[in-house]
């Protein structure tokens, strides 16, 4: 009887330990308040400096964060130099200015003796993402911190883990749901397409070869389709890129959703959010209310920042974001 009681007490104790470790492993704001109290202002200043040099800093950093979190979780594995995730075709179009933003911010953090080698590249990327949203007129929000950097980065791990321009609503939902993100989260995060650009090859089928019956995708606004044909003639240089938001491409706003209402979503995966009845109401809500979009975006990007994170003693704090220690 005594043996059984001892086993029960031991089991409860073990469970309590596991629970305590999982709670302590949660991300939190103010994670660096003792080890690097100025980390947020240091990153903010570094990102501002980079943004003043080139606007591409904003969309490039946002996209980098998304690509990082959807493959192996938010662990800065996307930052590791080749051979790595960066060799996959889905990541080869990531603009160099996003990587450079993180590198510059990391260097700035490490120049502070209190902070040197204490702040992960994964956390710096999360903070930099918030800063570029703010710099382009978007909402500020608290960033949870405490991520560790991953030690693995492979080309193979990217395969089938990032949404594609031709995805329908079911495919989008399935991929986002895998990471604990709802349809509303997915639509709010898609709103980040209010910034940035896409290469012609990513949507050329919608304006030239949609189907044997119709060359142009009927869900695409016909005037917009003709504009796109002018900007992306057939056999165009594959490096040519087009703004994803034709109305206010340098402002983080709800114009993306207003564009969808007019048939001006650049990718099939954009326009389907309006053409599919199951998601149209959310698009209309965000188009009608900038506040509704901002609130949903803050919730969604906070949840995105928790995907697959390593905390505690897992992973490492990379000294150089482009290589494991």
Q: Is the dihedral of CA 315, 316, 322, 325 positive or negative?
A: negative
Is domain 38-158 given the CATH code 1.25.40.10 in the classification? no
Q: Distance between CA atoms of 174 and 16, rounded to whole angstroms?
A: 34
H/E segment holding residue 224: helix 222-231
Q: Which residues are annotated as a binding site for Ca(2+)?
A: 68, 71, 73, 75, 77, 85, 194, 245, 253
Binding-site annotation: residue ranges: 68, 71, 73, 75, 77, 85, 163, 193-194, 245, 253
All CATH 1.10.520.10 domain ranges in the chain, comma separated: 38-158
- Give the Cα separation of 272 and 72 in Å (integer): 27
Task: Note the maximum CA span of the chain.
Answer: 83
Q: Is 67 a catalytic residue?
A: yes
**Torsion sign, CA atoms 293, 295, 301, 307:** negative
Per-residue pLDDT tens digits of the chain, which is 325 residues long? 554 545 544 455 444 444 433 433 589 999 999 999 999 999 999 999 999 999 999 999 999 999 999 999 999 999 999 999 999 999 998 999 999 999 999 999 999 999 999 999 999 999 999 999 999 999 999 999 999 999 999 999 999 999 999 999 999 999 999 999 999 999 999 999 999 999 999 999 999 999 999 999 999 999 999 999 999 999 898 788 999 999 999 999 999 999 999 999 999 999 999 999 999 999 999 999 999 999 999 999 999 999 999 999 999 999 999 999 9
User: What are residue 68's phi and psi, to 5 degrees?
Assistant: -65, -50
Nearest partner of 147 among 39, 58, 61, judged by Cα:
39
Enumerate the CATH 1.10.420.10 domain ranges in the chain, comma separated: 169-304
Answer for the pair 183, 111: CB distance below 8 angstroms, yes or no. no
- The answer for residues whose C-beta is within 8 angstroms of residue 33's C-beta and 6 or more apart is none
**H/E segment holding residue 242:** strand 241-243
User: Is residue 77 a contact partner of residue 86, using CB atoms and an 8 Å limit?
Assistant: no
Tokens 């979009």 correspond to 293
Task: Return the CA Rg of the chain.
Answer: 22
Choosing from 67, 88, 179, 199, which is the catalytic residue? 67
pLDDT, tens only, 172-194 = 999 999 999 999 999 999 999 99
Binding residues for heme b: 193
Q: Which fold has domain 169-304?
A: Peroxidase; domain 2 (1.10.420)
Report the chain's terminal Cα–Cα distance, integer Å: 51
């Amino acid at each position: 009887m005594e043996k059984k009681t001892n086993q029960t007490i031991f089991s409860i104790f073990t469970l309590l330990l596991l629970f305590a470790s999982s709670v302590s492993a949660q991300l939190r704001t103010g994670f660096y308040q003792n080890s690097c109290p100025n980390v947020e202002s240091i990153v903010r200043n570094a990102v501002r400096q980079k943004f003043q040099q080139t606007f591409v800093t904003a969309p490039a950093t946002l996209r980098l964060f998304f690509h990082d979190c959807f493959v192996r979780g938010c662990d800065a594995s996307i930052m590791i130099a080749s051979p790595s995730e960066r060799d996959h075709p889905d990541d080869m179009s990531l603009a160099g200015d996003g990587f450079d933003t993180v590198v510059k911010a990391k260097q700035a953090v490490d120049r502070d003796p209190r902070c040197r080698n204490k702040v992960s590249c994964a956390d710096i990327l999360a903070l930099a993402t918030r800063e570029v949203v703010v710099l382009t007129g978007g909402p500020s929000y608290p960033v949870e911190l405490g991520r560790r950097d991953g030690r693995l980065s492979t080309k193979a791990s990217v395969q089938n883990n990032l949404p594609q321009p031709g995805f329908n609503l079911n495919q989008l939902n399935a991929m986002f749901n895998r990471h604990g993100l709802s349809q509303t989260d997915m639509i709010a995060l898609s709103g980040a397409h209010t910034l940035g650009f896409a290469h012609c090859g990513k949507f050329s089928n919608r304006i030239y070869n949609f189907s044997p019956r119709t060359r142009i995708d009927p869900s695409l606004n016909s005037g917009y389709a003709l504009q796109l044909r002018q900007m992306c003639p057939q056999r165009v240089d594959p490096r040519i890129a087009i703004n994803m938001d034709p109305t206010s491409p340098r402002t983080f706003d709800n114009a993306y959703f207003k564009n969808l209402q007019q048939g001006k979503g650049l990718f099939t995966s954009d326009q389907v959010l309006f053409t599919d009845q199951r998601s149209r109401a959310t698009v209309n809500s965000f188009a009608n209310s900038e506040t509704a979009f901002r609130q949903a975006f803050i919730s969604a990007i906070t949840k995105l920042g928790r995907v697959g994170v390593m905390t505690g003693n897992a992973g490492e704090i990379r000294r150089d974001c482009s290589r494991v220690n």
